[in-house]
């Protein structure tokens, strides 16, 4: 039995007390992967951004909002885990300043300064040693090229490529890329997709 760290859902980056920057991720894929791992007999720690989903049964869950909160939560548990499956759609940028008061409309234009968020999976993979790290890549063009570049630059063992159509959908498909190889799964319900992905990873890794 192995102990997996899974990240899921979007992050929210606060603009003011009532507004935030985020994305269309529902968290369904990450939560389905947690269920598949538990069904396969493994321990799971889920670090989840905001979703409307029912928490997976048998999983230790840590709820977060921002990318910085997600990174801190992951660092806290990563040392006790054997593998990471990073599914979360983490915001690449956050506002340079978050207003403590609601931002009022005063003009026809408003400029926002954004700063880069940390690359969570890259930071964790840099500390992996012999542990397994699986990432996800959502691309709209040149998907395999960009995904393979990410896999190499972030020191990942596998990267799962999907498209913008996967966001919020009940069904999807994945291209699971490893060094010099690829494996297609789907089009199917995300619960089935997750079960097949977990089975493939467990079969082809030393976890």
Distances (CA, A) of 201 to 67, 83, 106, 159, 204: 26, 11, 53, 11, 5
Contact 42, 34 (CB under 8 A): no
Contact 67, 94 (CB under 8 A): yes
1: exposed, middle or buried (Cβ count in 10 Å: 0-12, 13-18, 19+): exposed
Contact 37, 57 (CB under 8 A): no
Residues designated as active site:
23
Tokens linked to 201: 């990873």
Q: How far apart are CA 47 and CA 30, in angstroms?
A: 10
């Amino acid at each position: 039995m192995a102990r997996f760290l899974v990240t899921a859902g979007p992050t929210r980056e606060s603009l003011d007390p009532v507004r935030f920057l985020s994305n269309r991720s529902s968290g369904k894929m990450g939560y389905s992967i947690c269920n598949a791992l538990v069904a396969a007999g493994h321990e799971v720690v889920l670090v989840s951004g905001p979703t409307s989903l029912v928490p997976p049964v048998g999983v230790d869950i840590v709820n977060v909002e921002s990318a910085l909160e997600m990174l801190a939560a992951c660092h806290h548990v990563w040392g006790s885990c054997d593998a990471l499956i990073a599914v979360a759609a983490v915001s690449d940028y956050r506002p340079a300043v978050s207003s403590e008061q609601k931002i009022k409309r005063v003009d026809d234009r408003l400029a926002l300064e954004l700063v880069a968020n940390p690359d969570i999976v890259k930071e964790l993979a840099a500390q992996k040693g012999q542990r397994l790290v699986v990432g996800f890549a959502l691309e709209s063009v040149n998907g395999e090229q960009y995904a393979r570049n990410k896999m190499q630059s972030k020191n990942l063992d596998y990267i799962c490529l999907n498209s913008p159509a996967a966001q919020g959908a009940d069904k999807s498909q994945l291209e699971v890329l490893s060094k010099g190889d690829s494996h297609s799964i789907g089009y199917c319900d995300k619960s089935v997709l997750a079960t097949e992905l977990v089975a493939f990873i467990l079969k082809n890794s030393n976890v």
